[in-house]
Structure 1
Amino acid sequence: MFQQFDSRTSPANAAPRLARLRAEMATEGIDAFLVPHSDEQQNEYLPADAERLSWLTGFTGSAGFCIVTGTSAVLFVDGRYTLQARNQCDPASFAFADLVSEGPAKWIGDNASDMRIGYDPWLMTMAQEKSFLAAAGKANARLVATENLVDRIWKDRPQRPSGNASIRDAALAGQDVAGKLAAITDKVLEAGADAVILSDPASVCWTLNIRGSDIAHIPVALSWALIPLEGKARIFIEGQKLDAATQAHLEAHCEIADPASLAADLRSFAEGRKIMADPALVNTAIRDAVVEGKGEIVERRDP
C-alpha cells in the first residue's frame, strides 16, 4: 500500500512547479537546490506544511530526496518505494535513483562539478552537512544556505499545525518532570556543557510529560527545548496549543517561548557557553545561531 496524505499533487503539476523553482534558483544564482523529505526537526512523518518533496514531485513516501538542477531533477528513494515513485511521479520530469546505494551526496560528488548548491539550513542536520561538504569538495562545488525556495513558490502551503497539547500524568509517564530534567542535566554536566538543545519533539514531550496532536498518528507537539545547568529550562511551542492547565503545568518547570524566537534566543543565550546538541537531529540553522552568539557546540547524542 502506498503511503498517502491529503494532497492535491499530481504528476501533471511537476513540470510547471519545477519551472518556477528553477526561476527562483536563477534569481539566487544557484545551480542546484536540495529538497529533502524532512522538516526542521527531522520527523519521519511530516506535518502537511513540511511536505515539500511531495508537493514538488508527487511522491508521498516517508523517505526521499530530490536534487533539482537547471536542466534535470533526480528523485532518490529507497527500495520500499521504487515502484511507488515511478507510479506517482512524472517520468519526463524526474530521473530516479536509489537513496541508499547512489545517494544525494554521492550524486553531488560525481555530477555537481563547480556548482553552487542551495539548501535550507533548517532542513539539514549537522551530520548531513559533513557528508554534503565532503561531496561538494570532491566536485569543487559549494554549498549555499538560502531560504527555502520551494516555500516561495508554494502559494497554498498549509499552515503550521496547532494541535492541542495535553499533560501526561507522571504516574503514566513513569517519572515526574523534575526527575527527568535532573537526569538530563547530569548528562549535560558529563559532556562538559552548560546546556542542551532538544530538537526531537518526542524527547521534548517525554521530558516535560506532555503529548500532542500535530502529526497524524504520532502523539507529539512540535517543539524544542533548551535545558541549562543553571536556571529554568525553556520550551519553544506555540501558545495556542496550550490550554490553561497545560500552560500551568509547563510554567511550573520552564519558560514558554514561541518557536519563531528560537534562533534569536539561542544567539542571546550562547555567549561563552557550550551547548550540547545531537548532530543527527539538530539542524545547521540552530548550530549557526549558537556560533553567531559566540557559543560552542558540543556534539553528543540526544540525552
Structure 2
Amino acid sequence: MYQSFEVTARPEQGPPRLEQLRAQMRAEGLSGFLVPRADAHQGEYVAAHDERLAWLTGFTGSAGFCAVLMDVAGVFIDGRYRTQVKAQVADVYTPVPWPDVTLTAWLKEQLPQGGRVGFDPWLHAAGQIRTATGELKGSGIELVPCDNLVDRIWQDQPPPPMEAVKAHPMEFAGESAPDKAARLAEDLRKAGQQAAVITLPDSIMWLLNIRGADIPRNPVAHGFAILHADGRVDLFMAAQKLTGLGDHLDASVTQHEPDGFLDAVAALTGPVRVDLNTLPQIVADRLGDRMSDGGDPCALPKARKNAAEIAGAAEAHLRDGAAMVELLAWLDAQAPGSLTETQVVTRLEQCRRRDNGLQEISFETISGTGPNGAIMHYRVTEETDSRLENGHLLVLDSGGQYLDGTTDVTRTIAIGAVGDEEKACFTRVLKGMIAMSMLRWPVGLAGRDIECVARLPLWLAGQDFNHGVGHGVGAYLSVHEGPQRLARTSHVPLEPGMILSNEPGYYREGAFGIRIENLVVVQEAAPLPGGDGERAMLDWRTLTYVPIDRRLIVADMLTAEERRWLNAYHADVAAKIGPRLGAETRMWLDAATAPL
C-alpha cells in the first residue's frame, strides 16, 4: 500500500521556501527556475517525492507550474483552478491564467533584458522545450538544463516510491502481454522504426499486464520501457518492485535497474519512436536525430478497450452504482446541517469497501457543499470541512478502482429546500448531459467536434464552465486517460471501445457548483430507418447507473425527448441496481427513479 506523506506548503512556509530557492538560483547564475507538477515519467499524477510544486507554493491542483524569477514568482493555472489557487498560495506568488498567458510571453514581459532560466531536463517534455525555445528566439532568454534546485532545499523530501507490482489477470486484461507487444512491434516494423521509448506508467502497466501502487489512487508503478521491433521489451524498473510477479513476465521481457535507462537509450539504433509530448528532454538529448515522433505506441490500443475490458467496466459500474445508491439513500435521511463534507466522504468509502473487488478509490473524493462546490477540484480539509446546510447544493465526485474496471461518477444533490436559480442552472447542465448521451455522430470526429453539444443549453443562457466535457478513463488504470477527450483541444478521433466521461457543469464562485457525470463507451451505432446507410455512425453506451436528483429538475425546461431519455435512464437504474440492494434502500431507489 502506498505510504502517505503530507508535502503541501502552508501559506506561512511559502516565503522562506521561495527565498531559499532564489538563493540557489543566485548561486547558479540563473535569472529564473521552472517548477512543474511533473515527474520523470510525465504522467498526470505524481508521488509525494515529486510534489515539488505543492511543497514550494501550496498549490495542489493536478496541472500547473511555477516560474520563479528574482522579483516575481508566477503560478500558472488553468480555468479549473483559478478559485482554488487563491486560497492555497501565499501572497508572494502571483496566479497567472494559463494557457491564456503562455510561459514564454510572460517571461518576455518579466525579463525584457533577457536572462538564463533553469529547468530540470527530467521533468520537462522535449516538445515543451522545443516549442518554448523557438518562441524565445531573439528575446535574449535562454532555457538552461540544470540540477533540480527544489530538491536541494527540500530537506525532508519523501523517498521515491518502491511499492510491489502485481500481475493483472487475463480474464480482465483480455489479451496477453506477449500478444500486445507483438501487435505493437508489427506497427513499428511497418513504420521502419527499430524501437519505441515508453515513459508513461499506465502505458507500461497496460503493455505488460501488470499493476502497481507507486501513485496514490492509481494502480501504476514507476519505470521506463523500450519496445523493440522484434517484440522484445526492456523494462527499467527497480527489481524489488517485481519480486512477487513469479513467471508472469516471460523471456521476451528483460528487467534492468532504472539507472541503466539512459545508457540503453543512447545505444539504440534509429529510427526510435517517441512521444515528444511526454519524452523527458534528457532522453531526447541522448537520442538526438534518431527520434521519430510517432506518439506513445500504447496510447490508442490502450484507449480502445477490448470486449473483456468493456464487460469488466460494465460490471464494476453496477456494483459501484449500488454503493452510490446506498450513500444517497442514507444522505437523504439526514437532516440539513447534521453532516459535514468529511462525513459524507467517509460514509461513501465505507459503502464502496463492502465490495471485495475494490482495490482503492480512484481519486480523492470531491465533496463540496455550498460555495465549496464552486471549486471544481475541491479537496476537503480540516480547515475547510463545512456543514451541509439547508438550501445547499452538494457536488459529490468520486470513483473506485476495481480489478475489473475504474469508475468515476458525479452527482449534485439538493440539501433541504434549494432556490429556483440553482434548479434552473442544474436543469441546463442536465440538458447538456442528456444531449451528449443521445448523440450520434459520423466516424472520424474528435472530441473537439462534438463537445459543444453539452454546452449549448448553458450557452443559450449566457453561461459556461471552465473544464472539458469529458476525459478518457482506463481499465483498472488511471481515472484520467488519454489520448481521447471531449474537449476543444482534442484532435483524436473517437473510436469504438473508448471510455470517456460525460460531465458538464456550472460554477458560481462563492455560491454553488453543479456537475453531473456518467461514464460512457463509444460503440458502433445501429442503423436508423430512413438513415444514410453509407455513412458509418457512432454513439454511446452508458456505463454509470446512479439516479439524478429529481428535486433539482425544472420539468418544464425539458423537452419531451429529454424527458423520455431521463425516464428511460431511471428505469434502467432501478432495474439494474435495485436487485443489488436491501429492501429499504430499494424502496428509496424506486421513489428516486419514478417517472418525471
TM over 0.5: yes
SS of 1:250's partner is: coil
Match of 1:120 in 2: 120
Letter aligned with residue 144 of structure 1: V
Indicate if the aligned counterparts of 1:38 and 1:123 stay in contact, CA closer than 8 A.
yes
Match of 2:103 in 1: 104
CA–CA separation in structure 1 for the residues paired with 2:61 and 2:231: 42
Shift of 1:108: 2.1
Matches for 1:112-261 after TM superposition, within 5 Å? 112-113=111-112, 114-230=114-230, 232-244=232-244, 246-261=245-260
SS of 1:285's partner is: helix
RMSD, aligned α-carbons? 1.7
CA–CA separation in structure 2 for the residues paired with 1:220 and 1:188: 25
TM-score normalised over the length of structure 2: 0.48
* Residues 1:300 and 2:265 aligned together: no
SS of 2:225's partner is: strand
Taking a change above 3 Å as real, the CA distance of residues 231 and 179 of structure 1, as seen in their structure-2 partners, is: closer
Q: Which moved more, 1:25-34 or 1:99-108?
A: 99-108
SS of 1:74's partner is: strand
- List per-residue Cα deviations over 1:57-98 (Å, max 9, x = no partner): 01111111111011111111111111211111111x111111
* Residues 1:281 and 2:275 aligned together: no
Indicate if the aligned counterparts of 1:191 and 1:276 stay in contact, CA closer than 8 A.
no
CA–CA separation in structure 2 for the residues paired with 1:5 and 1:96: 26
TM-score normalised over the length of structure 1: 0.92
Shift of 1:153: 0.7
CA–CA separation in structure 2 for the residues paired with 1:174 and 1:141: 51
Indicate if the aligned counterparts of 1:238 and 1:258 stay in contact, CA closer than 8 A.
yes
- List per-residue Cα deviations over 1:74-126 (Å, max 9, x = no partner): 111111111211111111x1111112201323212433331111001111111
Shift of 1:290: 2.0
Shift of 1:138: 4.5
Letter aligned with residue 266 of structure 1: V
Shift of 1:247: 4.9
Shift of 1:43: 1.7
Indicate if the aligned counterparts of 1:165 and 1:242 stay in contact, CA closer than 8 A.
yes
SS of 2:227's partner is: strand
CA–CA separation in structure 1 for the residues paired with 2:13 and 2:201: 32
Q: Which moved more, 1:98-107 or 1:26-35?
A: 98-107
Q: Which has the higher contact order (CA 8 A, sep 6+)?
A: 1
Indicate if the aligned counterparts of 1:5 and 1:60 stay in contact, CA closer than 8 A.
no
Indicate if the aligned counterparts of 1:109 and 1:137 stay in contact, CA closer than 8 A.
no
Runs ≥4 residues deviating over 6 A: none
Indicate if the aligned counterparts of 1:250 and 1:256 stay in contact, CA closer than 8 A.
no
Indicate if the aligned counterparts of 1:47 and 1:161 stay in contact, CA closer than 8 A.
yes
Shift of 1:239: 1.2
SS of 2:82's partner is: helix
Match of 1:74 in 2: 74
CA–CA separation in structure 2 for the residues paired with 1:130 and 1:231: 31
CA–CA separation in structure 1 for the residues paired with 2:256 and 2:246: 11
Letter aligned with residue 297 of structure 1: M
CA–CA separation in structure 2 for the residues paired with 1:224 and 1:258: 10
Q: Larger Cα Rg: Structure 1 or Structure 2?
A: 2
SS of 2:137's partner is: helix
